[in-house]
Amino acid sequence: MRLKALVLSLGLACVAHNVAAQTTSNASLPIQAGTRVRVTTPTMVSPLIANFLEQRGDTVVFIEDGRGRGVWSFGLAQIDKIETTAGETGRSKSAMKKGALIGGAIGLATGLIFASTFDPSSDNRKYSRMQTGIVTGLAGAGFGFFIGSLVSTERWVSVPLPKQFTNLPTVGAGFRIGLGR
């Protein structure tokens, strides 16, 4: 009786393994060759920006953009997220914040230097360093914010990853079959 149960469970495990192998190799990504993508995996420090080349079974191949120009391949199970580009979008919030901070700092420094070094022709007039620094700092922040609003960034759209079957051994007898992703 125990031998029959053992043979039956091993047979089911083999069938489940074959089903999982067939299912994952037939699953394909809805991306055309040459599409610009951003790939996130747990093994990489930063996302890979590359062009999608092809999918060979469970392996996805990319050609890196930029200076590296390398060929990268990942298994579908290794990939956390794939995003495709959806064109340029204007008014990047991070660029506007950065521009305002840099412009404000430059304006403040310029105002303080101007107020401390400029000598008005009249002896009874003096520039207040603090007021001049604040006014020029605000003007510089506004100008930097405007320049930052002209910067456009790339917009990314998530691509759904295909579902995968998994068979996991459980504590006790048998295997557990699950659906991942």
**Span 3-34, pLDDT tens digits:** 666 656 666 665 555 554 444 445 678 888 88
Segment 68-92 mean pLDDT: 84
Among residues 59, 42, 40, the alpha carbon closest in space to that of 50 is found at 40
Residue 104: count other Cβ atoms within 10 Å of its Cβ: 21
Question: Do 43 and 58 meet the contact criterion of CB atoms below 8 Å apart?
Answer: no
pLDDT digits (tens, 9 = 90+) for 64-75: 877 767 888 888
The CA dihedral of 130, 133, 134, 137, to the nearest 10 degrees, is -160
Q: What is the pTM of this model?
A: 0.53
- As to burial, measured by CB atoms within 10 angstroms (0-12 exposed, 13-18 middle, 19+ buried), residue 100 is buried
Helix (H, G, I), strand (E, B) or coil at 82: strand
